[in-house]
Structure 1
Amino acid sequence: MTSRLFLCFICASTLSACTRPQQVHLFKKDIVETVYASGKIISADEYSLFAFSSGAIRQKLVKDGDTVRKGQLIYIVEHDAADKKYEAAMTNYRHSAINLSETSPLLNDLRLAVKNAEIKLSNDSLTYFRWKELWDGGIGTRSNLDNVYANYQMSINLKNSADEKYTSALHDAQLAMSNAGSQLQSSRKELNDYLISSDRDGVVYETLKEAGEGVRAGEPVALIGTVSQRIIRLAVDQEDVGKVRPGQRVVLKTDLTGGTVYEAKVTKLYPTMNEADQTFRVDAEFTGNIPQSFIHSSVEANIIIQVRPAARVLQRTAMADDDSVWILDKGKEKKVAVRTGIASPEYVEILEGLDENATVLLKTKTTGK
């Protein structure tokens, strides 16, 4: 009987020891508060090149990874109809230019008519005023004076008519030239829409079409960006973005390079939330070594919010709530309030409410046991 009681005592003691909460104490440690972010590496000034006209790709003039200059052709889209339209507009423009030039047959005929009218008017004017002078001196007949006056008036009318015809023809030729120029410019622009070129110096990171494939107006055909600078585009949760500021240090890893850690800094925060995942865009730039010149590689990053050296900390698992812990006080368990500072995924800073000698109990938050 005695041995049975002793055995029960041993079992009870063992069970009590097994269920007793683990005890920990405050200790000093450098603690870093971070904000997690994920994203990808993109090229600075990265942009998609779009087709302006529909058709089949006649030629692809670059390949992925090529360096291109501003204005360099990337694709040529089939443009036979646009070619013919441009040629017709050019022919019409040249014809209009001839009609307005010094060798214009129509304008030259009208200029000659004006000169002839001027000569006739000059002669008839001299004749009339000579006869009028004689008439005023009592010489000649009224009939002769009336005839030369009539000829003089007809010459004036002929000169005015010749001037009007020339002015009208010149205006028509100028208008035709202007319209032909507008048509030529429009057809040239339409033709250029079939010639897809880069609008800046950069690198072709991806081509999306091959020769013979169809393309629609407004469809992207290539991805182009700068080779010398890359941006880390991060997504930060809406609950954390308020802590992020430009200039903060960023440490990150990429899927491409495995465990290699890279340094960066926050450069820009965007004010609009992505409603799909409740995040805000944050951009960062590399400050140390830069990964190979690949883009769109996924990254995981920690943004360093603040660092507290030699802080008094506890494991996060020791917190009963956000602002309290369980301690052992004179052999009894007691819940006490604490004021916390910064926190990391593993530790939390204790500012007030505990001294270094306090025995803290690791108890679950849900049961308190």
Structure 2
Amino acid sequence: MQNLKICLLFLLCLSCGKDREKVLPQKTKLTSSVYASATIQPDSLYQIYAVVAGILEDNLVEEGDLVRKGDAVLQINDRAPKLNADNAYLSLQQSKENFQGDAAILKEIEDEIYSARLKFNNDSINYSRQKRLWEQNIGSKAEFDTRKLAYELSANQLKQQRARYARTKYDLETKMAQARNSYSTTKIITDDYTVNSKINGRVYALFKEPGELVNTLEPLGAIGSASNFKIVMLIDEVDIIKIKIDQLTLITLDAYPKEVFTAKVSKIYPQKDERSQTFTIEALFTEPPSILYPGLAGEGNIVISEKEDALTIPIEYLMDGNKVETEEGLVRVEVGLKNLERVEIISGITEKTFLLKPKG
């Protein structure tokens, strides 16, 4: 009776072993990759900020509009700065007229210099003539002194007029330069009340409505490329050292559930996000989908390495990181590449070794 019980128990264990799933290792092409969450963003995307505070007067564009670099996007109320700019412009025009115009102050002084030069030339001739006569003892001393005095006075007057011209010219040039600088300053301040696009692209967001208060700390909108998009991915810190520029990346998007798109890693940001303990990388599509929108979400798999004819087993058959269960018992193996489904076995078993699936 005891022998019968032992025999039945052996048959029961044997039948249980036969019911467990078995597999044979297979030689396949194994691709090892790093998983990442992915988000689509326009290239050159940036947020719009004002450099002055005030009241938003108007949104000059709408969300979705195409803009060129330098196009006005938003207008902040600028009545007071504009009046200052207008006054500065008038001052500049007046300074130019005083310096360069038909009724210029310098023209009047030039005429006076011309008259003074004529008088000087005439007095110089008379003085020279009278001096020669006096040297020949002809004429009176009083007449000689009169001619000499007239010559010296006209010479001094010409010198003063030339000095006055130089001084007036310098003053007018200085005032015109000051007026020009003042106008440029007020023009810059006025321009600061208009927010312009920094790139050729599309307006993706506007956050304020006319009449609302704006400041220099809050974004007013977002502008980015209209045609070029990038894939922003978050990589776990344990995997970041495996990532290199130009690595092949397979992208799946929730908006295109049945398609897989290829891309290449284009940028690796060196700063880790301490909150999420992740690094950010960017990739560019090899052939992008026909329609893309900012914020589309999906997944990315960055291909780290590939190997042909690798001996692999389903990853769920691997126990404790380096053991498998065969019909003869547990066997220690050396593992190589792995992905989410299969793992490479370098040594320890062969293609003819049946493996038992670990018990749940």
Distance 1:146 1:173, change over 3 A: same
- Superposed CA offset, 1:246-299 (max 9, x none): 333222222333444322222233333333323222221222351523112222
SS at match of 2:226: coil
AA paired with 1:27?
A: Q
- Give the equivalent residue in structure 1 for 2:335: 340
- The match for 2:237 is 238
Q: What whole-Å deviation, never above 9, does each CA across 1:220-268 have from its counterpart, x for those lacking one?
A: 2221122221111112222222222333322222233344432222223
Q: Compute the TM-score of the two structures, normalised by the length of structure 2.
A: 0.90
Change (3 A) 1:312 1:193: same
Shift of 1:123: 1.8
Corresponding residue for 2:156? Answer: 157
Q: Does 2:62 align with 1:63?
A: yes
Per the alignment, residue 143 of structure 1 pairs with: 142
Match of 1:352? Answer: 347
Structure 1, unmatched stretches of 5+, are none
Distance change in 2, residues 1:346/1:175 (3 Å):
same
Cα distance in structure 2, aligned partners of 1:136 and 1:289: 105
Deviation sequence 1:190-232 (CA, Å, 0-9, x none) = 1111111213321111112221112113542221122221111
Name the CA shift for 1:134/1:116 in 2 (closer, same or farther; >3 Å).
same
- In the alignment, which residue of structure 1 is the partner of 2:279? 280
Unaligned runs of 5+ in 2: none
Counterpart in the other structure of 1:297: 296
Equivalent position amino acid for 1:124 in 2: D
Q: 1:241 to 1:205 in 2, by over 3 A?
A: same
Paired with 1:354 and 1:293, the residues of 2 have a C-alpha distance of 48
Deviation at 1:14, TM superposition (A): 4.1
Query: Contact between 2:206 and 2:222, CA under 8 Å: does it hold in 1?
Result: yes
Contact (CA 8 Å) 1:44, 1:230: kept in 2 or not?
yes
1:129 aligns with 2:146: no
Q: How many matched pairs?
A: 359
- Aligned partners of 2:43 and 2:224 also within 8 Å: yes
Q: 1:224 is matched with which residue?
A: 223
Shift of 1:25: 3.4
The residue number in structure 2 matching 1:208 is 207
Give yes or no for contact 2:331–2:348 (8 Å, CA) kept in 1: no
C-alpha distance in structure 1 between counterparts of 2:242 and 2:107, whole Å: 81
The residue number in structure 1 matching 2:50 is: 51
The correspondence of residues 73-222 of structure 1 with structure 2, limited to 5 A, is 73-222=72-221
| Distance change >3 Å, CA 356–CA 61, structure 1 → 2 | same
For 1:34, give the aligned amino acid.
S
Q: Could you tell me which residue of structure 2 aligns to residue 261 of structure 1? A: 260
Q: 2 CA distance for matches of 1:300 and 1:341?
A: 25
> Is structure 2 residue 312 aligned with structure 1 residue 317?
no
- The CA deviation at 1:349 is 0.6
Distance change in 2, residues 1:38/1:105 (3 Å):
same
TM-score scaled to structure 1, two decimals? 0.88
Maintained 8 Å contact 1:257/1:291: no
What is the CA–CA distance in structure 2 between the aligned matches of 1:316 and 1:29, rounded to whole Å? Answer: 14
Q: Give 1:351's aligned amino acid.
A: I
After superposition, the C-alpha distances for 1:297-324 in whole angstroms (9 at most, x for unaligned) are: 2221111223334421122233233334
Cα separation, 2, equivalents of 1:111 and 1:238: 80
Q: Which amino acid aligns with 1:152?
A: Y
Q: Is the 8 A contact 1:318 1:363 kept in 2?
A: yes
Question: Counterparts of 1:253 and 1:291 in 2: how far apart (Å)?
Answer: 14
RMSD across aligned positions (CA):
2.6
1:13-56 deviations in Å (ceiling 9; x for gaps): 64786589765432233322111011311112222222122111
Give the corresponding residue for 2:25.
Answer: 26
| Corresponding residue SS for 2:269 | strand
